[in-house]
Amino acid sequence: MPRPSGLDRRNRSAEGPSRTGNTPTLKIREMPREERPREKLAAHGASALTDPELIAILLRTGMTGKNAVEVGRDLLKEYGSLRGLSRCTVDELKKIRGIGFTKAVQLAAAFDLGNRLAREVLANQKIDSPELVNELVGGEMRMLRKEAMRVVLLDTRYHLIRTEDVSTGTVNESIAHPRDVFRPAVVASAYAVIVVHKQIKLLDHVIIGAQSNNGPGYFSFKEAGVL
């Protein structure tokens, strides 16, 4: 059988995109302009894009046989959700086929910007309810794979000074000494502190006060049935 000429080979490559099985895989630049993620975002806003399309913008390029949108779709399928994907470290992400170090760093940076935005929105609000504490750190802490304890440091107006990690443990245990919990508050001259933890079994929370004829001088959350 004669070998195809150079012109034949060029003609074949120009016939269309590469194929995986029987399904054609279009490169991003081969898509209709209005369907390309970046152009779609510029024209209609980020809310018009699917999660895989937003991930594709961060990745910029795909891999052999798959464009960036398909790689993004595979990542979400592998980890179940954006939250699951966001829990991956750079080391974990860079080992995924089609990702590598640069794309792993870009993904990690994007996820952390989202967490920082949530904190920034609440920076000038009075943090005085569990709902606001959850809004401040809940999303980020749910992404953690290990037990963790964090303190929220507040000023005299109950405005946020900063949050600080106190302890990171194993998948089912986190150990923190009381001095580790309150040292950040002392260093930051915080007026108030909120302790937040993930999945740690708390037997009781006892507040010691002055003794009186009407009380024992302490308050137990467990005795009061609120723990």
| Residue 196: other Cβ atoms inside 10 A | 19
| Domain end call among 78, 93, 117 | 117
Element housing 165 (H / E) = strand 160-168
Q: What is the DSSP letter of 19?
A: E
Q: Is residue 225 part of a domain?
A: no
Residues 34 and 75 sit within 8 Å (Cβ to Cβ): no
How does pLDDT run across 165-223, given as a tens digit for each residue?
Answer: 887 765 555 566 777 878 888 888 999 998 888 767 677 778 787 777 777 778 888 88
Identify the pLDDT of residue 172. 54
Residue 195: phi and psi, rounded to 5, are -95, 125
Identify the pLDDT of residue 40. 94
pTM over 0.75: no
| Domain end call among 83, 117, 151 | 117
Domain count for the chain, please give it. 2
Beta bridge pairs of residue 148: 168, 198
| Residue 136: other Cβ atoms inside 10 A | 24
Q: Nearest CA to 199 among 127, 145, 154, 161?
A: 145
| Domain end call among 93, 117, 141 | 117
Domain identity same for 137 and 107: no
Q: Specify the amino acid at residue 174.
A: S
Domain identity same for 88 and 134: no
How does pLDDT run across 35-78, given as a tens digit for each residue?
Answer: 999 999 999 999 999 999 999 999 999 998 899 999 999 999 98
Structure-block tokens of residue 50: 């699917």
Identify the pLDDT of residue 17. 42
